[in-house]
Chains A and B, each alone.
Chain A
């Protein structure tokens, strides 16, 4: 996925972001925000030479202990924030796999999840207020620090809007207390089906672990080559389960998870002996995507969510689809919430391989939607899943989304090429300026 940036700006302050946006407007350019560039759906890829506003230099952090929240600028790195809060006993709960690199602004834009969001909720559950620069350069505050802010929850509109509503310049997020006790279990299964069944059984047994992650054999082998965490490379699938809370509860839940896994034919269940071992097990899970070049230099990653009960069924189809197209697929995903991450790995230098990868990807998306799933769990729609939007949403749905977006950004300045496919709007185009209207019509808008 290649981009075409017009001007790249590195603002330090809210005011500078406003200037960037206004100048872009004067020159008829769109504005595309970009954080650390770890996105997986092309949401920050510039199209048609827009002004790219890079937030990496916006690094201020102000902790408000009394309100148990922290104001951050969008460039603050997710893991840096957690590390900074750790001495005081807190952390920022959403922990996407890219947390060592990705920025808070990007987390908000994509409503990022992460292994621990099973128990703690995704980014939207942690964002209290957002200071936003809108497409015309005006500043506004969405949400607020009051327990019950007045009016509609516009904060909820912004979280996950992928830069299409405006640019977040300050974000207030909740501080999550560090759990007093944590246990991480590694369960080793011969059959992926048993692992998938164990996932549902754990939750049915009344435990909501902090995280349940599944890795299949191929990805386990690749990751083990990097971290050397002692993952069983001959296992058909492994589960990484974390329980946390008060020590007594953790001990009881650990025993229960162990029992359920063994009842589902786990060959072994290993509980990490100390923090070092825990960190190593997680490092393996969290660097999985980046490790695939050990097999092939390119990957195409999907992010569909399916009902947990359909996990096994869809997983089988994923393997079958990939095999049929002659593509290697690796699976590493948030099993607890049914969020699949099939990684199609390939070498783009092989002629014709891209077509096969795209075909296989489309079929995987179809299979997930047919099972009652959705297009994206946490990576966003961006450019990459735009063509599939019509599979999930009706024209009425898409039009409603377009109108909501237009309410914030009537001139279509904010990351206009993303998320909604061309032709989503069915309203009249009279209130738009000529160039924008022409562009929409050229793109296939229907009037």
Chain B
């Protein structure tokens, strides 16, 4: 089976093995076949036609969390994420790797009303005990209703930014979005929400999940539609590390100048706030006390290993909280988008290691800038909050929520 890789990129691995300890699946299995080096070797063999793209190969590819921790560890700069996406793309084209119902599911992510309705259905089923949430790695209680998203009123000459809302996160964690908008409001920044095309029938999903699954055509279509919802030149802020990583990479995915220009406008929200920290109201007297909350910072892989923008989370939180670091060098937590549902056993074992690191670090609350990680860790009984929620609390903005004084209220549900 030909795999649509760039052959020079595939040749770039010298098999030194320095990636092994940074791979979550190698860490929990100790098996070469579940390591980046083993997977690259398998891709090479299948690509050369020496081995078939059989169930064993699919298993090696499918068990990869796509955390890309191997990329930051790799001295030769092997673009492993691209190799893995190419392998999955090849599988999706040549085999029944992605059956019709999954393709349909990924397509549906772009239709936001469907996502919200589906989420509500799932929430109902959960409350009727019809879904084994723990086994599926779902958050404990999905929201039944989601409050309208509300941008805060600011001065007329305030600088303008776009705020990416996304698909599943907007249905499941709209309170995080709301906290982010409250912080932006307090900074005197005018946030604009994307306007979905065709009455909300596409442009809701950035295409990351489809891309990770090897469904590149769907990913490209979704990315193109998403791009169109952020016209102009204002920066685009993203409070989901996974979506941010995808939107920053559209230049590569779509290969157009327009996409490259778009990607250059994308920032993780913490990254942007840290660069504009002078706009933040200073910490109040409470934040200076010795009893300020101790926060363990969990770096989402797509923030640390892909965007390489994990340090701003600390810059943003440090004035208000006592921060503690994990000792696992950003090893993945096992959430990986849909991974926790598709590979529950490995995902749980990987999470167990993360829980150990969090225990050693201490702290009463975990900060995580990615919805997938936070749900996955919360499902293990931890208190996990988005840095924007923590910041909104620290700035005393939590109480404001729901005042209803926004300019452009919009219930996308």
Q: Chain B interface: which of A23-31, A286-294, A423-431?
A: A286-294
Within 8 A of B (CB), among A22-40: 36-38
Decide if B76 touches A293 in the complex (CB within 8 Å).
yes
Indicate with 1 or 0, residue by residue over B1-39, a CB within 8 angstroms of chain A CB atoms: 000000010011110111111000000011110000100
Question: How far, in whole Å, are A226 and B76 apart by their CA atoms in the complex?
Answer: 7
Q: How many B residues, CB 8 Å from partner?
A: 23
Residues of B within 8 A of A347 (CB): 11
| A37: B residues at CB distance < 8 A | 17, 20, 32, 37
A10 at interface, CB cutoff 8 A: yes
A57 part of interface (Cβ distance < 8 Å): yes
Kindly list chain B residues whose C-beta atoms are within 8 Å of the C-beta of A335. Answer: none
Residue B284 CB within 8 A of the other chain = no
A106 to B31, CA, bound (A): 16
Cβ-neighbour of A10 out of B19, B20, B30 (below 8 A): B30
B45 nearest CB across to chain A (Å): 11
Residues of chain A within 8 A (CB-CB) of B76 are 226, 290-294
Judge if A104 is at the interface, Cβ distance under 8 Å. no
Q: How far is the CA of A75 from the CA of B26 in the complex (A)?
A: 13
Contact of B16 among A38, A80, A294 (CB under 8 A): A38
A223-B75, A290-B74 in contact; A297/B11 too (CB < 8 A)?
A: yes
A117 close to chain B: CB less than 8 A: no
Q: Is the CB of A293 within 8 A of B17?
A: no
Contact residue among B14, B20, B37, B327 (Cβ-Cβ distance under 8 Å from A293) = B14
Q: Are B30 and A56 in contact (CB under 8 A)?
A: yes
Q: Does A298 contact B (CB under 8 A)?
A: yes
The answer for the CA separation of A294 and B32 in the assembled complex, in Å, is: 24
State how many angstroms separate the Cβ of A274 from the closest Cβ of chain B. Answer: 16
Residues of B near A77 (CB, < 8 A) are 21
* Interface membership of A349, Cβ < 8 A: yes
Binary interface encoding of chain A residues 85-125 relative to chain B, with 1 for a CB under 8 A from any of its CBs, else 0: 00000000000001011100000000000000000000000
CB distance from A190 to the nearest CB of B (A): 26
A36 & B17 in contact (Cβ 8 Å cutoff): yes
**Least Cβ–Cβ distance between B71 and chain A, in angstroms:** 11
Q: How far is the CA of A36 from the CA of B19 in the complex (A)?
A: 11
Contact yes or no, B17 A287, CB < 8 A: no
- Which residues of chain A from 182 to 225 have a CB within 8 Å of any chain B CB? 223
A298's partner among B14, B29, B31 (CB-CB below 8 A) is B14
0 or 1 for each of B74-102: is its CB under 8 Å from A? (1 = yes): 11111000000000000000000000000
Of residues 41 to 93 in A, which have CB atoms within 8 Å of B's CB atoms?
54, 56-57, 59, 75, 77, 79-80, 83
By the criterion CB–CB under 8 Å, are A100 and B18 in contact? yes
8 Å CB interface, B336-390 against A: none
- The reply to whether A38 and B14 contact each other, CB–CB distance below 8 Å, is no
A290 to chain B, nearest CB (A): 4
Query: Closest Cβ of chain A: how far from B349's Cβ, in Å?
Result: 13
Cα distance, A294 to B14, chains bound together (Å): 10
Q: What are 11 sample pairs from A and B whose C-beta atoms fall under 8 A apart?
A: A37-B20, A38-B16, A77-B21, A100-B18, A288-B75, A290-B14, A290-B74, A292-B76, A293-B14, A297-B14, A299-B14
Q: A38-B17, A290-B14, A290-B16 are in contact. List 9 more A-B contacts (CB 8 A).
A: A54-B31, A56-B30, A56-B31, A57-B29, A80-B21, A98-B16, A223-B75, A290-B76, A292-B76
Q: Which residues of B contact A (CB under 8 A)?
A: 8, 11-14, 16-21, 29-32, 37, 73-78, 327
